[in-house]
Amino acid sequence: MIRIGYLGPEGTFSEEATIRYAAGREVTIADRPSLEDIFRDVAAGRLDQGVVPVENSTEGAVGAVLDLLAGPYNLCVHGEIFLPVRQTLMARRGLRLEQVERVISHYQALEQCRGFLRRRLPTALLEECASTAAAAGRVAASAAPWAALGPARAGLKHGLQEIAPNANDYPDNVTRFWILGKEPRPAKSEQNYKTSIVFGLGDRPGALYTILREFALRGINLTRIESRPAKKNLGEYLFFIDLMGGQEESMVREALQEVNSITLGLKILGSYPVEA
């Protein structure tokens, strides 16, 4: 039985993504209190896989996940899931929208609904918490005029009512999740693959251009480029790239060999099937 972990508690979008991924598979799923707990437990073999959010279509990359991927855990990407995200404003029964004095949620949810909250609840305090599900639990446990932002299923779990069923600033809000494991997965020839890498660069003119040129010369499409502080000296960055093709394909393999000779510590995060 495969053991899969996600960022809890129950009722989060991460749980929903994990349930979708687990459909039709012989698995058990379990929540973890933090992203690092997921990485640690997969690395230690206490979990076989972990499901983590890596980017959102409106708020961009989840920096904490990128930092952990670049860290000491050496996990591999096994796959990806794209989950449509609908943020729902929920409160105890009987509370009307205009009565809400505080809105509690994960910082990503608050940012995804910033415009809505400014228009409809301009005087409400905004409070961050560990997860959208935790926000629903706090609101349910309090008699104060508070509301939570998150998935509707979290509200149902805690007996809350929907007072604004779609609070997203952008209706086509999607979060991309990665499935992480300890060992790389073998590629299947009948599937299209994507490869993710991370590397550092020396401080010299044209360094990033030199890297990108290796992919362009071989007609390899790059679908994402992100930078994160290297956590060392100010101005030092790590670069995360997603590219089309598996690392065993000849053109991709050649490009990665060249990139490895130029960069500081190329790390191949994995090749995995492209999600349709």
Portion of the chain with pLDDT greater than 90, in percent: 82
Active-site position among 18, 175, 195, 263:
175
Domain boundaries, the chain: 2-84+173-181, 88-164, 193-273
Residue 190, pLDDT score: 61
Contact between residue 106 and residue 147 where contact means Cβ atoms under 8 Å apart: no
- Report the C-alpha gap between 213 and 218 in whole angstroms: 9
Intrachain domains 2-84+173-181 and 88-164 with the same fold: yes
Looking at residue 25, what is its pLDDT?
A: 86
pTM of the model: 0.89
Question: What fold, for 2-84+173-181?
Answer: D-Maltodextrin-Binding Protein; domain 2 (3.40.190)
pLDDT recorded at residue 163: 96
Helix (H) or strand (E) holding 165: none
CATH no., domain 193-273: 3.30.70.260
Q: Which residues contact 135 (CB under 8 A, 6 or more apart)?
A: 104, 105, 106, 109, 129, 148, 149, 150, 154
pLDDT band for position 16 (50/70/90)? Answer: very high
pLDDT band at 128 (very low <50, low <70, confident <90, very high): very high
Q: Which fold has domain 88-164?
A: D-Maltodextrin-Binding Protein; domain 2 (3.40.190)
Phi-psi region of 114 (alpha: psi -120 to 50; beta: other; left: phi over 0): alpha
Active site residue 177: yes
**What are the residue ranges of helices labelled H in 102-246?**
107-112, 114-120, 132-141, 152-157, 207-217
pLDDT for 24: 86
pLDDT in tens, 223-243: 999 999 988 888 789 999 999
pLDDT digits (tens, 9 = 90+) for 129-162: 988 999 999 999 999 999 999 999 999 999 999 9
Single out the residue of 39, 94, 119 nearest to residue 72, CA to CA: 39
Does the annotation count 175 as an active-site position? yes
- Angle (CA) 261-265-270 rounded to 5° is 100
Q: Residue range 99-112: average pLDDT?
A: 95
| Residue 188 predicted with pLDDT over 80 | no
Active-site residue, from 39, 116, 177, 239: 177
CA distance 163 to 94: 10
